[in-house]
Amino acid sequence: AIQHRLWPEIEKTVQIQVSMAKMGIGECGSGWQLFAEDGEMKMYRREEEVDGMVVDPLKAVHIVKGITGHEVCHHFFNPQYRYDWETTLEHMTVLETISEDTLVFLQTHKRIWPASQRDGLFWSHIRKLPNEKDRDGPDIWTVVNNSTDHPDYPPNNGKCVRVFLTVCLLCQTTVDPPKEGTSLTRDNLSCKITYCSVVNPGGWAPASVLRAVYKREYPKFLKRFTAYVKNQTKNKPIMF
Ligand X SMILES: O=S(=O)(CCO)c1ccc(-c2ccc(C3CCCC3)c([C@H]3C[C@H]3c3ccccn3)c2)cc1
Determine if 115 is a binding residue for ligand X (CB under 6 A): yes
CA–CA gap between residue 173 and residue 179 (Å, rounded): 19
Mark the segment that binds ligand X (CB under 6 A) among 45-53, 112-120, 149-157, 176-184: 112-120
Nearest to 123 by CA among 14, 214, 222: 14
Q: Which residue's CB is nearer to ligand X, number 195 or number 238?
A: 195
Residue of 118, 125, 127, 162 that binds ligand X (CB under 6 A): 118
CB of 16 to ligand X, least distance (A): 17
Determine if 112 is a binding residue for ligand X (CB under 6 A): yes
Q: Which residue's CB is nearer to ligand X, number 210 or number 238?
A: 210
Binding mask 77-96 for ligand X (x = CB under 6 A): ---------x-x--------
73 backbone dihedrals φ, ψ, rounded to 5°: -70, -35
Nearest to 77 by CA among 128, 149, 118, 42: 128
Nearest to 200 by CA among 137, 141, 118, 97: 118
CB of 154 to ligand X, least distance (A): 18
79 backbone dihedrals φ, ψ, rounded to 5°: -60, -30
Residues 129-188 that bind ligand X (CB under 6 A): 145, 163, 165, 167
Residue of 106, 201, 226, 233 that binds ligand X (CB under 6 A): 201
* Whether the Cβ atoms of residue 141 and residue 126 lie closer than 8 Å to each other: yes
CA–CA gap between residue 155 and residue 122 (Å, rounded): 12
* Whether the Cβ atoms of residue 173 and residue 207 lie closer than 8 Å to each other: no
Determine if 17 is a binding residue for ligand X (CB under 6 A): no
Residue of 45, 62, 75, 109 that binds ligand X (CB under 6 A): 109
CA–CA gap between residue 42 and residue 213 (Å, rounded): 17
CB of 163 to ligand X, least distance (A): 5
Binding site for ligand X (CB under 6 A): 86, 88, 107, 109, 112, 115, 118, 120, 145, 163, 165, 167, 197, 199, 201, 205, 213-214, 217-218, 221
